[in-house]
Structure 1
Amino acid sequence: MKNEENIIVGISIGDLNGIGGEVVLKTFEDIRMLEFCTPVIFASVKTITFLNKHFDLNLNFNGINSFDQIIVGKLNVFNVWNDKFNIEFGKDDPKMGEYAIKSLEAATKALKEDKIDVLVTAPINKHNIQSDSFNFPGHTDYLAKELQGTSLMFMVSDDLRVGLLTDHVPVKDISSHITKKLIKDKLDIIYESLEKDFKIRMPKVAVLGINPHTGDNGVIGKEDDEVLRPTLSEIKDKGRLVFGPYAADSFFGSKNYKNFDAIIAAYHDQGLIPFKTLAFGKGVNFTAGLNKIRTSPDHGTAFEIAGKGEADESSFKEAVFMAIQIFKNRNEYHELTENILKTRQKKI
């Protein structure tokens, strides 16, 4: 088990024409962050030097080519490439998509090999990352494949946690994706994560309906009555505190969300619009269900303000803190589980 005082946070740099590089460097310009972790940015010394100068920052960092060169308590930059190229802030450029994926792949490899403890990803552009070798809607699907898990997109802030049954799925295809198996799988993930990653005993989870007014007894769609309700009933029968389905239009405005440890939304915008309205800038995207920890800020590349020095690093900083805390919580959970098993074996 790794020393929790020495957590190594790997960072994929995202789309360099967006605000990712800016929020990463602004986060670690605050040297107090180095008391909590040892960051490793997967990019190149040339790239970070350019960004440091462009944003008039005063960062000191350690360039490395192997993980045994990491200096604990200092900002480290792992050279994934040595190419020289022009960063054109605000431009949607496939070349920047290539570098974003190079950074992500190198960071993911390091995560799988335990060279880093957690991964925090800066925003990518989902359009310019597509290629013959990388055909994923985004980070979540790629990491689920690489880390061999069933992932759950889990948006988290201090007092609000929203998970998704379906994430990057066209609206016209949502209902066909929502099956009994999917509902059970996603709820299994969210319960395990709440207990293991967030230290919540007997978590209470609310589920939002698929259709407006949860179908109005079949008048506005039958999926809630035929798929969602019977599945939730089966899950309740197993002793889990799951409630719903609730009509999504009034659930957040009525502040009903405050009565639950987490909410499961049927689809992307149903969950993310209220989450970002209530927690934007302080929210974190956590990929639950994987054997490794990955977080990211709750915003995208923001090309419209890229390069102007206007980006707010708050959400990225929260993503770093969240990854560190979940790492500690998982360690504590595993230690507790091991101690319980040892106690039981002694009794036998």
Structure 2
Amino acid sequence: NLWKDNVNVNFGVPTEESTKMAIDSLEAATEALLNQDIDILVTAPINKDEMLKQGFKHAGHTGYLEEKMNKKGVMFLVTEDLKVAVSTHHIPVSAVAENISKENIKKQIKILNQTLIEDFCVERPKIAVLGLNPHAGDGGAIGKEEIEIISPAIQDLFDNGILTFGPFPADSFFQPANYTKFDGVLAMYHDQGLAPFKTIAYEDGVNFTAGLPFVRTSPDHGVAYDIAGKNIADEQSFSEAIFTGIKIFNNRTEYNELRENRLVVKKQSPENRYREER
């Protein structure tokens, strides 16, 4: 337990002490993961601005964990019927286009494909990709990223056996008749994916970082200082983050155990096959 000092806590008011405690807690939990003392990390909402003021060098938990594990992850918002990842994370909208690349999209979809198989028990995932521009570029009339970057990445992945489709116009994609046809969705930027996800699955949505060597989840809401201490906060998303983390861990463990203990079929020599047939 990190809370050894007598700290004055005022609900809904960030302080230097509370911010330091948030940073210390994350560092301690990450150390426990690296030492294999724990299997799952469930993070609570943080005040990013206050943490940056105290020297924290990342825009959120994900960047910190990626640095500690030396591995890139993908922000993946999940619920039972809808799973949405984002190609770019916490960056300004003005920087989104320059951070969209064919190689990044391919890497991210490979991670999504693998996590859908290992962590969510989808045997052959179907992944939808959203366009960057309005109407997915409208054939190049409203931007060239779909033609020059996104579509070639989709085609390469499809040609290599990953069922990837799109790019779809984001403004009309999130109707049940559309998104329910796919096991996962890759949006191009934060609000393109999270705005519809939170509208559809706000109460039970969970943020999962795909691609890391351990399971990390969090609720899909912020600090909500305005309702702190009023006994009106809904705990469902946080509960879902815990139970989803456990479910993912169990699925991944079972998947790895099955792969480690899979049956090996030995090829018979022509002589032995001939003797058996006789």
Q: Taking structure 1 as the reference length, what is the TM-score of the superposition? A: 0.75
The match for 2:72 is: 150
Deviations 1:240-292 (A, max 9, x none): 11000000000113630000001110000000000000000100000000001
Q: List alignment gaps of at least 5 residues for structure 1.
A: 1-78
Alignment partners' CA distance in 2, 1:254 and 1:108: 38
Alignment partners' CA distance in 1, 2:3 and 2:174: 45
Asked if the contact 1:283/1:297 (under 8 Å) is kept, the reply is yes
1:13-32 to structure 2, matched below 5 A, reads none
Give the residue type in structure 1 aligned to 2:68.
E
Asked if the contact 1:148/1:290 (under 8 Å) is kept, the reply is no
Alignment partners' CA distance in 2, 1:332 and 1:131: 42
Residue 295 of structure 1, CA deviation:
0.3
Q: Which of 213, 217, 227 is residue 149 of structure 2 equivalent to?
A: 227
Deviations 1:3-61 (A, max 9, x none): xxxxxxxxxxxxxxxxxxxxxxxxxxxxxxxxxxxxxxxxxxxxxxxxxxxxxxxxxxx
Residue 88 of structure 1, CA deviation:
1.3
User: Does 2:17 correspond to 1:92?
Assistant: no
Q: Which of 190, 207, 211 is residue 285 of structure 1 equivalent to?
A: 207
Q: List alignment gaps of at least 5 residues for structure 2.
A: 269-278
Alignment partners' CA distance in 1, 2:56 and 2:225: 22
1:63-82 to structure 2, matched below 5 A, reads 79-82=1-4
Give the residue type in structure 1 aligned to 2:264.
T
The match for 2:162 is: 240
Alignment partners' CA distance in 2, 1:128 and 1:96: 10
Residue 146 of structure 1, CA deviation:
1.2
The match for 2:106 is: 184
User: Does 2:264 correspond to 1:343?
Assistant: yes
Alignment partners' CA distance in 2, 1:82 and 1:254: 49
Deviations 1:161-201 (A, max 9, x none): 00110111110000100111110110011001000000101
Deviations 1:92-115 (A, max 9, x none): 333321110111110111011111
Residue 347 of structure 1, CA deviation:
5.7
Residue 217 of structure 1, CA deviation:
1.8
The match for 1:193 is: 115
Q: Which of 42, 52, 55 is residue 120 of structure 1 equivalent to?
A: 42
Q: Taking structure 2 as the reference length, what is the TM-score of the superposition? A: 0.93
Alignment partners' CA distance in 2, 1:255 and 1:303: 36
Give the residue type in structure 2 aligned to 1:308.
K
Alignment partners' CA distance in 2, 1:316 and 1:118: 14
- Residue 88 of structure 2 aligns to a residue whose secondary structure is coil
Residue 218 of structure 1, CA deviation:
1.7
Alignment partners' CA distance in 2, 1:299 and 1:291: 24
Give the residue type in structure 2 aligned to 1:155.
L
Alignment partners' CA distance in 2, 1:224 and 1:167: 19
Asked if the contact 2:7/2:17 (under 8 Å) is kept, the reply is no
Q: Which of 221, 232, 249 is residue 299 of structure 1 equivalent to?
A: 221
Alignment partners' CA distance in 1, 2:70 and 2:178: 35
- Residue 231 of structure 1 aligns to a residue whose secondary structure is helix
- Residue 221 of structure 1 aligns to a residue whose secondary structure is coil
Give the residue type in structure 2 aligned to 1:236.
F
Alignment partners' CA distance in 2, 1:258 and 1:93: 43
Q: Which of 63, 83, 88 is residue 166 of structure 1 equivalent to?
A: 88
Deviations 1:114-138 (A, max 9, x none): 1111010111111111156421000
Give the residue type in structure 2 aligned to 1:111.
L
Q: Which of 177, 196, 199 is residue 274 of structure 1 equivalent to?
A: 196
What's the % identity of the aligned pairs? Answer: 51
Larger Rg: 2
Deviation beyond 6 Å, 4+ runs, structure 1: none
Alignment partners' CA distance in 2, 1:180 and 1:132: 36
Deviations 1:131-164 (A, max 9, x none): 5642100011111111222100000001000011
1:303/1:240 CA distance change after superposition, 3 Å:
same
Alignment partners' CA distance in 1, 2:56 and 2:107: 26
Greater CA drift, 231-240 or 247-256: 247-256
Asked if the contact 1:147/1:290 (under 8 Å) is kept, the reply is yes
Alignment partners' CA distance in 2, 1:244 and 1:271: 15
Give the residue type in structure 2 aligned to 1:327.
F
Asked if the contact 1:147/1:292 (under 8 Å) is kept, the reply is no
